[in-house]
Structure formats: structure tokens, C-alpha cells
A and B are shown apart, each in its own frame.
Chain A
Amino acid sequence: QVQLVESGGGLVKPGGSLRLSCAASGFTFSDYYMSWIRQAPGKGLEWVSYISVTGSTIYYADSVKGRFTISRDNAKNSLYLQMNSLRAEDTAVYYCATSAETGTRNDYWGQGTLVTVSS
């Protein structure tokens, strides 16, 4: 069955960097658009970034533009999120999810990985 497993979260100081990974299995990863979506503690969902099947089309939320970089390796069935210049407000559970090309739905979600930005 479809499985998405995030890793790489943890505690990092403000201004620091972290790289999240998402390992996909149970489906043809190279056929799917992918997204990162986050949820701050006790808050709602916030979309972070989206990447097309080849990586040629990428979108970012304004809140992370210029600091975060989404990428994928179809040969390794993996999605990544490089996060630089981290701020306290980036503290959240980060989910990877499969996405429709239109960006209007996310069919499958991972269990999430917690990123805490604190001194």
C-alpha cells in the first residue's frame, strides 16, 4: 500500500538548517506531484511547497520563499525539503503528501516529522 515516511526533524537553533526527507513506497513515485505541508502546534494546516513530477515546476509559500528548497530524486523514490535560516515560527510538524497536478488535493500523507526551532 502507499506509504510516505518523513525523517530528519529535530531541534535546531534559530538561523540553523535542517533537511527533511520523505521516503515513498507502494506507488510509482515518479508519476506523482508532491507537496510539503506543515502544522504548527495546536494550529491548522499550512501548505509549504509543491514540486512537479520532473521537478521543473516548483511553488513556495511566501513565508518560506528564499529560505526553503524542495527537491526530489525519482530514482530513490524520495522527496526533500532543505530548510535554511530557520525561525521560531517554522516550528511545526511537517508532512509530505502526494498532490494532484492542479494542486487542489493531497491524496496520501505521511505521519509527519516534528521540527522545533528554539534556542
Chain B
Amino acid sequence: QSVLTQPPSVSAAPGQKVTISCSGSSSNIGNNYVSWYQQLPGTAPKLLIYDNNERPSGIPDRFSGSRSGTSATLGIAGLQTGDEADYYCGTWDNILSVEVFGGGTKLTVL
């Protein structure tokens, strides 16, 4: 059971937009920055979004992030088949003193 809760799967058609939610609590998302990672099949995770809504160099602006209260959301616009991957949210938990991840969401581009 993950500390952060994500939907197991989402799907949408090419060109559409999808959002992935990440729910936590005041000890993690509510008081810390959230990051998002993309893991393409058979590869290591890659940082997609950090500090709730910042994109590392090289990440297209189709990817966006936001945080409200104890939840965070990843948005992916203009979906491409190459976006099919597992997506994870992550942050620090102040009570547990551990880094926590969501269980992951598998994105299918139909």
C-alpha cells in the first residue's frame, strides 16, 4: 500500500489531454514539493516535473504539473504513442522521514 495514491491506469486517444492524480496528506504533499517521473518500458525512471510544476531542461511543455492542498496532478497534452509509460509521483514525508512514491499509473494511448 503506497503512501501516495494514484489511479492504476488512464487512457486517451492520440492528440488528447490526460491528467493523472496523486493524493497524499499534510505530512507529504501538503507541505513538500512534488515530483513526477516517467518510466518507459524496460528503462529507468526519468524526472518529468519537479517542485510541483517545473520542467527539467529538455522536457516539452506538453507536460505540466500542479499541486492543490494534499493532492497533485500531472497533465499531458497532445498525447503521442511514445508517451505510453508508467508515471509516478513522489515527495518527502515529514513524519515518516522517508521519500514516498505513488503506486504508479500506466498510461495507454489508444
Contact between chains at B88 and A106 (CB < 8 Å): no
Chain B residue numbers with a CB within 8 Å of A44 are 2, 86, 88, 101-104
Contact between chains at A106 and B103 (CB < 8 Å): no
For chain B, give the interface size range. Answer: 20 to 34
Q: Is A50 an interface residue (CB 8 A)?
A: yes
Interface residues of A in 23-68 (CB under 8 A from B): 35, 37, 44-47, 50, 59, 61-62
Interface string of B39-56 (1 = CB under 8 A from A): 000011111001100001
B33's partner among A45, A99, A102 (CB-CB below 8 A) is A102
Q: Is B37 an interface residue (CB 8 A)?
A: yes
A residues whose Cβ falls under 8 Å from a Cβ of B: 35, 37, 44-47, 50, 59, 61-62, 95, 99-100, 102-112
Interface string of B93-107 (1 = CB under 8 A from A): 000011111111000
Contact between chains at A35 and B99 (CB < 8 Å): yes
Interface of A is mostly: loop
Min distance, Cβ A68 to any Cβ of chain B, angstroms = 13
Contact between chains at A111 and B47 (CB < 8 Å): no
Contact between chains at B98 and A109 (CB < 8 Å): no
Contact between chains at A104 and B34 (CB < 8 Å): yes
B residues whose Cβ falls under 8 Å from a Cβ of A: 2, 32-35, 37, 43-47, 50-51, 56, 86, 88, 90-92, 97-104
A-B contacts, 20 listed (Cβ < 8 Å):
A35-B99, A44-B88, A44-B101, A45-B101, A47-B99, A47-B101, A50-B99, A59-B98, A95-B44, A102-B92, A104-B33, A104-B50, A105-B33, A105-B51, A106-B37, A106-B45, A106-B47, A109-B47, A110-B44, A111-B43
Extra contacts besides A104-B34, A104-B92 (16): CB < 8 Å = A44-B103, A44-B104, A45-B45, A45-B90, A59-B97, A62-B98, A102-B32, A103-B99, A104-B35, A104-B90, A105-B35, A105-B51, A106-B37, A107-B47, A110-B44, A111-B44
